[in-house]
Copies of this chain bind each other. A is one copy, B any other.
Amino acid sequence: MKNADRNIYISNTDVDKAKEIFFREIGDKLVSYEEIDVLNSLNRVTYEAVFAKNSSPHYNSAAMDGIAVVAENTYGANEVNPKILAEGKDFVYINTGNLIKEPYNAVIMIEDVIEMEEGKVKILNPAYPWQHIREIGEDIVAGEMIIPSNKKIRPLDLGALIAGGVEKLKVYKKPKIGIIPTGSEIVEKFEDLKEGKIIDSNSRVFEGLVLEYGGEPNRISPIKDDYELLKNTILKAVDENDIVLINAGSSAGSEDYTVNIIKEIGKVLVHGVAIKPGKPTILGIVNEKPVIGIPGYPVSSYIVFELFVKPLILKYSKFEEKKEEIRKAVLSKRIVSTLKNKEFVRVNLGYVKDKLIATPLTRGAGVTMSLVKADGVVEVPQSSEGIEAGDWVEVKLLKDEDRIKDTLVSIGSHDLIMDIISDIMPLSSGHVGSMGGIMAMRRGECHVSPIHLLDESTGEYNISYIKKYFKGRKMALIKGVKRLQGFMIKKGNPKNIKGFSDLTRDDVYFVNRQRGAGTRILLDYNLNKLNIESSNIKGYEREMTTHMAVAVSIKSNSSDTGLGIMSAAKAMNLDFIPVGYECYDFLVPFEYMEDEKIINFINVIKSKEFKDRVTKLGGYEFEGTGDVIIVGGLE
């Protein structure tokens, strides 16, 4: 789409202002109730107080197993002068819950009844009137309020409502939420997922969130970027629902259609909110119903949903909002922001020595995994140009705090074994390369740093780096695994790559790791040794942050080869030319060695389960895995 066709008039409305405009316009007119059967009322919210129709019990009943008697006839009974009672005349046998019929007005427990011949019994004590009788209304009195209005019905409440004779009750209507995924590139089924196509996942997230907040989702299949088609679809959705969500594809086209259609058939209240991600949000009204245009990138779509759609659904469903858990945390990495918008930064959280540390995750709007992995969100206000490392920030927790407390925070080199460990114990694993890990550890951001750093002068791994970067500090190095590094190449090695000297060939595209990664250091060490100029390597400047990313680049023909671990090559079904084994170990400050999380971690990497699963990945050896080497602290 060329410049001339674009709709680039988009405002930058403050988020609170946008909410105010939108919610004022909507008002309360759409909140309504329905009368439903009590048996369908679980988890619905009462529209008005519910009063008992019947008493419970609704008749006088025996509270014990025994005999029903007329109390006045038992007066005077004692051990010396027992009373003899005749069945049918003076008493009837009765079980707990049975109706007490006139003239009986008391129950004697079966244990206190001495049975005799011919339907006669003997009692040694008198009964007082109404003893062991559950009187009408002992539990619930007709007319009594069982639950007030605006209360979500729990299983327990259901029992009381039924016992109180309530057959039907008024609850808030569930708002119907129409969900329209749009974009010609969006497909619904995995089999339609060709190059240039994107699978629709946002609308499925919306469905789940709508259910969670007490609404009824009505999702339809993705709509192509066609003005008339989209217009008719929106009109139909508005007709059939209380709220309509239009999820733009990631292309600008569909967003433009949405705003123009809403302008044509209704009113656009806000187009463009000062938030990041989520700026191209559209808040509109069609036929008095709220219609929201949600941007296409997964993170944007989630944040816009939480900001604008969630409060809208709760307004109708009357579900109570879970209280936000806010904690103070120390920011471990600088966040740069602009004055243009309020930014929502996903962070990993970990308690390191009783201090909560917040480490920002990737900020791309497209990075779903940054949401899945996030433990919390830091809001950077519009008035701020960013937050410095070491500053205290307020974090909204996305996970249970106890779980965060139990989580071992690892920052450093990437390896596939980290996934396995995090499947066995609570582990948050950040991948910034070995040197990145060492820097994070110096800043106190993590409990453990996986590193594999080759000392070019000694050929030894890790120790000399620890001595250099933690001078005078007592550190522990937990031995990890030996892993095979080498060239990942396409199946069958079509470019006939044999070693480092092939990297400078004109027909070979290389893919590199980022500076500070142990694998990058290994590359540079070898290039140096062989006097190969890095500027002669095509793709040397193309940096990936994980072994798997390198493997995927080769697999998808973006490049021909890259250096990485054998397990990543195997996982992607690539061929592999070994360069050599290296030590992938775990650096820990000595004072953490008593920490339960570290003790647990050592137990995990020593376990049979861990070794069995790692062995299946291929390219690993276990030599002293779990052993601890103390480094430094004596200088």
Contact = CB atoms under 8 A, between A and B. Distances in A.
A57 B57 CA distance: 64
Interface in A148-189: 148-149, 154-160, 162-163, 165, 167, 183, 185
Contacts of A302: 156, 159
Chain copies in the assembled complex: 2
Contact of A3 (B113, B185, B551): B113
A110 interface: yes
B97 A185 contact: yes
Interface string A536-562: 000001100010110111011010000
B139 A366 contact: yes
A11 B209 CA distance: 49
B97 A142 contact: no
Contacts of A99: 195-196
Interface of A: 1-4, 6, 39, 42, 48-49, 51, 54-61, 63, 65, 93, 95-99, 110, 113, 115, 129-130, 134-149, 154-160, 162-163, 165, 167, 183, 185, 190, 193, 195-196, 198-202, 204-209, 211-212, 249-253, 296, 298, 302, 323, 364, 366-369, 371-372, 400, 402, 416, 419, 422-423, 541-542, 546, 548-549, 551-553, 555-556, 558, 568, 571-572
Residue among A93, A144, A202 having the largest count of chain B Cβ atoms under 10 Å:
A144
A553 B136 contact: yes
B145 A552 contact: no
A158 to B, nearest CB: 5
A548 B143 contact: yes
A97 B160 contact: no
Contacts of A165: 190, 193, 199
Most buried by B among A61, A143, A253, A302: A143
A548 B185 CA distance: 66
A141 B208 contact: no
Contact of A204 (B139, B158, B249): B158
B6 A110 contact: yes
B140 A366 contact: no
Contacts of A183: 97
Contact of A423 (B4, B148, B202, B546): B148
Given A97-B198, A541-B129, A558-B136, A371 B546 contact: no
Nearest to A556: B136
Contacts of A167: 190
A298 B162 CA distance: 12
A39 B204 contact: yes
A146 B251 contact: no
B364 A138 contact: yes
Nearest to A548: B141
A95 B558 CA distance: 21
Closest 5 CB pairs of A and B: A155-B208, A97-B250, A99-B196, A145-B419, A162-B201
A372 B147 contact: yes
Nearest to A1: B95
A54 B556 CA distance: 11
Contact of A542 (B39, B65, B129, B200): B129
A93 B1 contact: yes
Given A2-B93, A185-B98, A369 B552 contact: no
Contacts of A364: 138-139
A57 B96 contact: no
Contacts of A3: 110, 113, 115
Contacts of A367: 138-139
A99 B198 CA distance: 10
B159 A368 contact: yes
